Amino acid sequence: MTLSVLARLSPFHRTRLTPWLCRSLQQQAAPRKGLKVLFFGTDEFSSSALTALSKGIYAENPGVAHIEVVCPPPRYKVRTVKEKTKLIWKARVSSRATNLGIHVHNTPEGGSIQDWEVPNVDLKAGYGANARFDIGVVASFGAFLPQRIIDSFPQKMINLHPSLLPKYRGPTPIQTAILNNDSHTGVTVQEVHPKRYDAGNILAQVPFELKLGMTRVDLMTQLGHLGGELAVRVLQNLEFMRKNSIVQNEEEATLTRMFTSGDTKIRWEDMTAMNVMRMHWAHYGHIAVWSFLRVKNKVLTVKMTDIELATSFDEPLEDDYLSFRPGSCLRKRKHNYIEFPCIDGGRLHVRGFTVEGKQPRDGLQFAAGYIKKNKTPCMLTLSPDCKRPTPNFVYPEEYKRPSHMAAVKLNDIPLYHSKPGLVKRLRLKAEAEEAKASEKSEESKTSEELGETEEPKETEEPKETEEPKETEESKEPK
């Protein structure tokens, strides 16, 4: 085919393109080093890992010679009126593989792969008609792989897991690490266990620093890229890694669970502003945090999609905001966000709202449509009875209302997604406060040292003034 195309070109273009075509034909005919990999994945984590794995083909010591992808099929909604289909869901790794020019295989519809057979290598790869894959690589596939599929690969299968196993086994290790406020997480490459999730021998691990403010999507992208690079190194030295693999300690193993919309409801009675933000970061892009709002005789479910943590540079919309109950909707003219005070004195700025059954709205649209109709707008933890007045807010026992200064300095923390200007202002403010504190401490130290070294001087008694002696001349009358 390439020779027929070359024959149609002009002599000038033929001389220019002939060396390039000869090199490409030699590369296709020469045997490539590395393993033929069949990659199993679905979400952002697996798509980032696939990108890093595909780069391993062009390394000096390639662990991957050829790669293809297996993912669930796209889901469509059939419109019976116009007989048209609408795409509802498509695996992220499928779109990434299409952009990278990688062949995609789909599992059967319905999610069951018990009767599914592992496909052969694509004929366009140049390995022959019945070429088999050498190894399988799994990254957040979402389905249990039976022993039959594992044994169909000569080199078995390995798995990329976004945690430092045996900690956080299961489907949601990234969300659990954010909710628990962990300082570090990581990626583990392990062998696929035929009977349990994430229980195989550990081949390699890499730690990763978890910065405050990182969302679920951020960690999936970065950990996926890190896991893909680690998998390339494991495939380059697969025999050595398996000889030195580590058996997981079952006593240290912890399990994670699937989260639902009930886990993202805001409890205004006991959740601080930072707790709400961690819940928002952990489920960002998947499940939105939400609460109830009563408008006259209706109780609405409101989702909050764009949330920020207020700092001391953000002036409160109400001077006495500490006197409002937590969850109150504070608004001001020409401000595109609504402020919510929390029980610890922190404040949340929300710019995106979605009422159940309605289109998404920004802060100004939400305030015009729902808050102006209500005299005392406030978010509620529990859905109240529409025929009765809204119950009073119940504070926890031994609750002390925070002071204004403590509430202002509460959220002065530079986050991962903070703007550079805000980070600089917070840094300069912290440095100024440290300088003031150091000056005060030095002054107190110098005053103490001076008080210890200087002994009190004895007070001298005032000398008696000598009276002038009377002379004979002064005695004589003038």
What confidence tier does 289 reach under pLDDT thresholds 50, 70, 90?
A: very high
Average pLDDT over residues 365-385: 83
Residue 29 pLDDT: 41
Residue 75 neighbours by CB under 8 Å, 6+ apart: 87, 88, 89, 90
Mean pLDDT, the chain, whole residue set: 82
Whether the pLDDT of residue 249 is over 80: the answer is yes
Whether 453 has a pLDDT exceeding 70, the answer reads: no
Q: Say how many C-beta atoms besides its own lie within 10 A of residue 300's C-beta.
A: 15
Q: What is the pLDDT of residue 24?
A: 47
User: Could you tell me which of 66, 47, 69, 49 has the C-alpha nearest to residue 57?
Assistant: 66
CB 269 within 8 A of CB 276: no
The CA radius of gyration of the chain, in Å to the nearest whole number, is 35
> What's the rounded mean pLDDT across residues 231-249?
93
Whether the predicted pLDDT of 329 surpasses 80: yes
Query: What is the per-residue pLDDT across 83-125, written as a single tens digit (0 to 9) for each?
Result: 557 788 889 999 999 998 999 999 988 767 888 889 999 888 8
For the cut 90, the answer to whether the pLDDT of residue 182 exceeds it is: yes
pLDDT tens-digit profile of 308-323?
988 877 888 888 888 8
Residue 126: pLDDT band by 50, 70, 90 thresholds? confident
Residue 244 scores a pLDDT above 50 = yes
Q: Which of 141-155, 315-329, 352-366, 457-471 has the lowest mean pLDDT?
A: 457-471
Tell me which residue has tokens 């809204």: 390
Statement: residue 458 has pLDDT above 80: no
Two tokens at 84?
A: 């048209």
pLDDT of residue 421: 66
Per-residue pLDDT reduced to its tens digit, 141-178: 988 888 999 999 999 999 999 999 999 999 999 999 99
Instruction: Tell whether the model's pLDDT for residue 426 goes beyond 50.
Output: yes
User: Quick one: which of 296, 361, 375 has its CA closest to 328?
Assistant: 375
Q: What is the pLDDT of residues 13-52, one digit of tens each?
A: 544 554 544 444 434 444 457 899 999 999 999 999 999 9
Confidence tier at 220 by pLDDT (50, 70, 90): very high
pLDDT of residue 12: 52
